[in-house]
Amino acid sequence: MTRYYNALKVRDGLDHNAENTDAPTYLYVYEPEAFNGQGRAAISIGDPDSADNTAVVVPGTSHSVSEGWLSSDDAVNVYNETQRADPNKSNAVVAWMGYNAPDSLFDPQVGQVGNAREGGALLSSDVNALSVTNHGDSHVTVIGHSYGSTTVADAAAGYGMRVDDVVLIGSPGTDLAKSAADFHLPDNGHVYVGAASTDPITHLGGDNNQVHVPGTGVTIGLGTDPADDDFGSTRFKAEVEGWTWPWKDHSGYLVPGSESLFSISDIASGHGDALEHDGMTADHRTQVLGVEIDPESWRIPTGGHHHQ
C-alpha cells in the first residue's frame, strides 16, 4: 500500500505542477518506500537536461512525499516568476523532496543536524547529476527553506555539491558552513539570503542565539546565521507585507508578489546582479554587545512585486 499511496502523491504532484505552469513535468527521483514509507522523490517543471537555468527547491520541516509537498505551489511559483524574469531563457525548477525532513516542530530531530547532513549527501548526489545530463552549461541555483536551508548548506560545505548560486530562506543556521566561503562556489557564485525580521526561525542561528532545551540534549538553532554581516552573503529583501504572524512570515518566502520571490527569480534566472539595480538588496544583521540588530525591522514591507 505504501508504494501505491506514494505513487498517487507523485502523480498528483506531476499533474499539479504541469497544470499551473506552461511546461511539461518530469519525474527526476523516485524511491516510494524510502524513509520508512514517507518516500523520496523529485519532480522537475521543465526539462533540466536542456534548460539554460535550473533551480532546485528544498523544503523544510513537516514535509514529505506522503504528506503531499510535491503538490504545493512552491516550485510552481519559482518557475512562473523565473520565466517572467527572463522569458528569453529556458528554465527548469526541480521540486526536491529527496531527504527525510523532521516531521514537525515538535520532532526532536528539528533541533539536530543529523537529518540535514544525511539529506545533504543525497542532495549533492542528485544535484551534481544535473550537470552530467544537461547538454549545455546550465546555471544552477539551489534554494533551501528552513531546515532545508541547513540541508543545502551541508550539501555544499560537506558533500561537494557543485552549483552556481545558493539561496537560503528562513534559515535556522548553516551547520557545517561557517561562512559563504565554505560553500565552495565558483568565483562568480553567491550565497543569497532571505531572512524576514519577523520570522523567528531566522533568529535562532548564531553563537549568541543558541537555545538549549533542558534535559533533551537538543539545541534549537543549527549553526551560523547566514544573514549576519560577517558571513559573506548577499542579503535580499524578504519582509512580509500586511498583517504578520510568526509562522505565516516563516512560510511566506515563495508567495507571488512578495519581495522574496521577486528576488529569488532574479537569482534563479541568472540575474542576481539585478538585485541591487532593482533595489532589492538588504543590510545585514549585526551584533552589538551580544544583542542582534536587524535593520530590516525598521523598514515598511512592500508587495506587488512581479516581473513584466
- Determine the Cα–Cα distance for residues 223 and 144; give it in Å rounded to an integer: 15
Q: Which residue has the higher pLDDT, 161 or 243?
A: 161
Least confident of 160-164, 173-177, 186-190, 204-208: 204-208
Could you list the residue range(s) of the whole structural domain that residue 282 is in?
2-298
**Mean pLDDT, rounded, for 142-170:** 98
**pLDDT over threshold 70, residue 211:** no
Residue 169 lies in a domain: yes
| Per-residue pLDDT reduced to its tens digit, 14-73 | 999 999 999 999 999 999 999 999 999 999 999 999 999 999 999 999 999 999 999 999
Question: For 4-16, what is the mean pLDDT?
Answer: 98
In the chain, the percentage of residues whose pLDDT exceeds 70 is 94
- Beta strands (DSSP E) in 132-226 are 139-145, 165-169, 190-194, 211-213, 218-220
Give me the number of domains the chain comprises: 1
144 within some domain: yes
Residue 303 lies in a domain: no
Mean predicted confidence (pLDDT) in 171-185: 98
pLDDT value of position 27:
98
Residue 220's pLDDT is what?
59
As a residue count, the chain comes to 308
Inform me whether the pLDDT recorded for 305 exceeds 80: yes
Q: Is residue 19 part of a domain?
A: yes
- Residue 217 scores a pLDDT above 60: no
**Which residues are paired to 257 by β-bridges?**
305
Q: Which helix (H) or strand (E) holds 275?
A: helix 274-277
Q: What is the pLDDT of residues 103-153, one digit of tens each?
A: 877 777 778 899 999 999 999 999 999 989 887 789 999 999 999 999 999
All three cell numbers of 56, joined, read: 532546485
Contact 93, 53 (CB under 8 A): no
Q: Is residue 89 part of a domain?
A: yes
CATH of the domain at 274: 3.40.50.1820
Judge whether 304 lies within some domain: no
pLDDT at 108: 75
C-alpha distances in angstroms, 16 versus 54, 67, 184, 259, 280? 19, 15, 35, 25, 30
pLDDT at 219: 53
Burial of 118 (0-12, 13-18, 19+ CB in 10 A): middle
Bridge partners (DSSP) listed for residue 193 = 168, 235
Question: Is 308 domain-assigned?
Answer: no
Given this model, what pLDDT does residue 79 score?
A: 99
pTM for the full model?
0.95
The overall average pLDDT reported for the chain is 93
Q: Is 296 helix (H, G, I), strand (E, B) or coil?
A: helix
Helix (H, G, I), strand (E, B) or coil at 265: helix
Mean pLDDT within 172-200? 97
Q: What is the pLDDT of residues 220-271, one digit of tens each?
A: 579 999 999 999 999 999 999 987 766 678 999 999 999 999 999 999 999 9
What's the pLDDT at 239? Answer: 96
Indicate the pLDDT class of residue 207, thresholds 50, 70 and 90: low
